Amino acid sequence: MAYSFPLRNTPSQARHIRVVAEEWLPFVKVDKIGACLAVRGPMAEILHFLATNLNFSYTVIQPEDHQWGSKKSDGSWSGMIGLLHRKEAEFLATPVSANLHRLEVADFTVPLMVDSQGLLVASPAEENDAFGFFFSLNWE
């Protein structure tokens, strides 16, 4: 989907968009100020830079389920991706990973960061057993 934005020096014609965000420290901090939501952190700085330079204003919203978003069995979407898919928001201001299903319903920028975190598990104890290859078989 393509968006056009008015010239920077025409604030009365600025486009207003809905931005969805969930807190994910240290990248996004969501603050409730009265009935409004505000975002702080590196992603908020990028959002503010874009809003200033592309001449748009925005309202921050959150999904009711506070989820990032996954495809449900009925084909609908939950969370922030659901808000984008249902056109209830135009922009997502929280880092989110792209996967095959999400690429079907949302356009992603080039990655802003690459995270190399992983899970570690203990190595199994080695056993010298001539018939150890049978352990990989399921006898059910």
Instruction: State pLDDT tens for residues 79-128.
Output: 999 999 999 999 999 999 899 999 999 999 888 877 777 777 777 666 66
At residue 126, φ and ψ (nearest 5 deg) are: -80, 135
For the chain, give the mean pLDDT.
86
* Cα dist from 115 to 24, 43, 132, whole Å: 14, 16, 37
| Model pLDDT, residue 1 | 47
| Model pLDDT, residue 118 | 75
Residue 78's CB: how many other CB atoms inside 10 A? 18
Quote the CA–CA distance of 10 and 54 in Å, as a whole number.
11
Domain 11-136 in CATH 3.40.50.1820? The answer is no
Quote the CA–CA distance of 80 and 82 in Å, as a whole number.
5
Quote the CA–CA distance of 75 and 62 in Å, as a whole number.
21
pLDDT above 70 coverage of the chain, percent: 79
Both tokens of 134, joined, read 């049978």
Average pLDDT on 5-11 reads 59
**Three-state SS at 5:** coil
